[in-house]
Amino acid sequence: MVELTLHAPWFLLSVETFDAEIRDCSMTRTVCIAWDYDLAEVLRGLDSDRVLGIVCMMPAWASSNGQWSSREVREVWMCTSDAGQSVLLCDAAGQEFDCGLVPEHVEPLKKDLLLCVAPAKPRRRPFSQRKTPPSGNRRSRRASTRKAGA
């Protein structure tokens, strides 16, 4: 069980890691990150091709439904001006948002793209994660997919 005492946005970052000894073997590691600046620092040190996804968990005060909600993050930007730095995020719908603690930027404003996450490709879920068990046995399923006359 995890209890959140601070009602501020936080992040789930999923990264693909590869086994150095087994070819074509990878695993998804997901880490919780508390602050947008920490997310930006982690992303600077990662190969962008390894990032599978970022989810921003939004507290009730920042959500339209008054409950914790999530937003899929597609872009992470670092904004810099004479007023300071801030992290700007862009969700899957193309809407820009921040985590609420942003300085009043003044021109000129410099925006640097830290990461652009490609939309997730649907993956076939292993049997152990499916909601319904497979029907029949493997032989009958293989046979049902063969072309006539094969």
**What's the pLDDT at 21?**
80
Task: Kindly state whether residue 2 falls inside one of the protein's structural domains.
Answer: no
**What's the pLDDT at 18?**
83
Task: Kindly state whether residue 128 falls inside one of the protein's structural domains.
Answer: no
**What's the pLDDT at 125?**
57
Number of compact structural domains in the chain: 1
Going from the C-alpha of 7 to that of each of 80, 88, 122, the distances in angstroms are 26, 19, 32
Task: Kindly state whether residue 60 falls inside one of the protein's structural domains.
Answer: yes
Task: Kindly state whether residue 129 falls inside one of the protein's structural domains.
Answer: no
Three-class secondary structure assignment of 60-120? HHHCCCCCCEEEEEEEEEEEEECCEEEEEEEECCCCEECCCCCCCCCCCCEEEEEEECCCC
CA nearest neighbour of 47 among 117, 112, 120: 117
- Give the Cβ contact number of residue 43 at 10 Å: 20
Task: Kindly state whether residue 115 falls inside one of the protein's structural domains.
Answer: yes
Residue ranges making up the domain that contains 83: 10-121
Tens digit of pLDDT at every position of the chain (150 positions)? 878 888 889 999 999 988 778 777 888 999 999 999 999 999 999 988 899 999 999 999 888 889 999 999 999 999 998 888 999 999 999 999 988 777 787 788 899 999 999 876 666 555 555 565 555 444 433 333 334 444
Residue 99, burial from CB neighbour count under 10 angstroms (0-12, 13-18, 19+): buried
- Give the Cβ contact number of residue 83 at 10 Å: 13
Q: Is the pTM of this model over 0.85?
A: no
Please check whether residue 34 is in contact with residue 46, taking contact to mean a CB–CB distance below 8 angstroms.
no
